[in-house]
Amino acid sequence: MMQTVRNFELYTPKLIEKREFFSSGHRACQGCGEVLALRLVLKALGRDTVVANATGCMEIISTPYPTTAWEVPYIHVAFENAAVVASGVEAGLKALRRKGKIADRDVKAVGIAGDGGTADIGMQALSGAMERGHDMLFVCLDNEAYMNTGIQRSSSTPFMAATTTSPAGTVIPGQRTGKKNMPEIMVAHRVPYVATACPSYPLDLINKVKKARKLKGPSYIHVFSTCPTGWRAPSREAVKLGRLAVETGVFPLYEVENGKYRLTVETPEKRRSVADYFKSQGRFRHLTPDQIKIFQERVDGEYRQLMNKIKHSRSWQE
């Protein structure tokens, strides 16, 4: 039941694939930024894709037996193995195609998981899959906590954010550590294409997914996914929060091709202060002005490091 939008005469929408590969009727929360990201990622991937998905929000909201929202071939096995199930799919399709048992056509294996299924419990499988160099794309849909099980902290939860296992207490104010830098870890695995993306910048996201899809080898895209439910933010601001994350430098949009860093969406010369980003999010409501200042310094420091890499990094192929 694919929906096609007809008669698009105008410029912007013309650049976006019109077919939908994820149907309505899924059970995501209203205003879910993650399912919006997934919808755009699938548009960029196209029909010849097999998705291996980890247990998480996207899996639960889309596959209540006997129905499914997916319109591409889809497999879910468990929580920590999306990357290696995708490896198995890639190897299976490769062997069957080579032996003439299936059509001689490129079908991309894609692993999709949340931040838990990527950076925490899924870390081992992802590291192994990327190291082995399978021809697959791995997409992390990062909503910055274990949202599906009730908003518990993950290694992707930002510094001092409140979650149910890192609550804003009187003694410890929220998450004690900062966000694990997964793109950097992927670059250290010598993954030829690593990128960050955000659905608030849909064309940038779609271009990156298309680029990764064309590549023969492993690729990784880390997608910022607003969760109004978990972040205690109004559902209508799901896209706005993604934009603010980019404009403040909290989540810069860049890509790394063979080790060469490049910013793909320019942040404003004078970055917005993180206080603007925190304003409508209940998970940061407890922060004092001093704590906000500490957070700002941290963001500034990390941003400077990224700018250094963008300025000085060289491609491995040189």
Partner 1 sequence: MKQKKWPEAWHEVTPGCVVFAPGSASTYKTGSWRAQRPVWDNKKCIKCGICYIFCPECCISESADGFFAANLDYCKGCGICEHECWPQAIAMVEEEV
Partner 2 sequence: MSKRTGMEVAIAAAEAVALCNIDVAAVYPITPQSHIAEHLSDIVHNGRIDAEFITVESEHSAMSACAGASATGARVYTATSSQGLILMHEILPIVSAMRLPVVMGNANRALSGPLNIWNDHSDIMSVRDCGWIQLFAENGQEVIDLTIQSFKMAEHPDVMLPAVVNLDGFQLTHMIEPMEFPTQEEVNRFLPERAPFATLHPDKPVSMGCFNMPDIFTETMMAKNEALVNSKQTILKIWDEWEKQFGRRYKPVETYFSEDAETLILTMGSMSETASVAVDEMRKKGKRVGLLRLRLWRPFPLEELRSALKGCKTLIVMDRALSFGGAGGPVGTEIKSLLFHDKSRPRIVNFLMGLGGRDMKVEDFIAMVERAGKKKDETYEFYGVRQ
| Structural contact between residues 263 and 201, judged by C-beta atoms closer than 8 angstroms | no
Place of tokens 């755009």: 40
User: Which residue stretch of 63-71, 151-159, 164-172, 200-208 sits at the interface with partner 2 (rule: CB under 8 A)?
Assistant: 63-71
Among 19, 27, 98, 214, binds partner 2 (CB under 8 A): 98
Selected binder of partner 2 within 128, 133, 217, 234 (CB under 8 A):
128
CA dist 272 and 262 (Å) reads: 21
| Residue choice 180, 190, 210, 240 for contact with partner 1 (CB under 8 A) | 240
For residues 195 and 309, what is the distance between their CA atoms, to the nearest angstrom?
Answer: 14
Site size for partner 1 (CB under 8 A)? 49
Minimum distance between the CB of residue 238 and partner 2, rounded to whole angstroms? 25
Answer for which of 16, 29, 107, 215 binds partner 2 (CB under 8 A) is 107
Whether the CB-CB separation of 316 and 190 falls below 8 Å is answered with yes
Please tell me whether residue 132 binds partner 2 under the rule CB under 8 A.
Answer: yes
Of the pair 127, 258, the CB lying nearest partner 2 is at: 127
Task: Please tell me whether residue 304 binds partner 1 under the rule CB under 8 A.
Answer: no
The pairing of strands 260-263 and 219-224 is unpaired
- C-alpha torsion 42→43→48→50, nearest 10: 0
- DSSP class of residue 117 equals I
Interaction between residue 235 and partner 1 (CB under 8 A): yes
Beta partners for 51?
A: 74, 110
Q: Which among 190, 200, 198, 306 has a CA at the least distance from the CA of 253?
A: 198
5, 15, 95, 188: residue in contact with partner 2 (rule CB under 8 A)? 95
Q: CB count, 10 Å around CB of 233?
A: 22
Specify the stretch interacting with partner 1 by CB under 8 A; choose among 59-67, 122-130, 136-144, 186-194: 59-67
Supply the minimum distance, in Å, between the C-beta of residue 61 and partner 1.
Answer: 9
300 binds, options partner 2, partner 1, none, Cβ within 5 to 8 A by partner type: none
Neighbours of 14 (CB within 10 A): 9
Residue 156 engages partner 2 in binding (rule: CB under 8 A): no
* Contact between residue 75 and residue 61 where contact means Cβ atoms under 8 Å apart: no
Within residues 152-211, the interface with partner 1 by CB under 8 A covers: 199, 202
Q: What residues make contact with partner 2 under the rule CB under 8 A?
A: 47-50, 52, 59-60, 63-66, 68, 70-78, 80-81, 84-89, 91-96, 98-99, 101-103, 107, 124-125, 127-128, 131-132
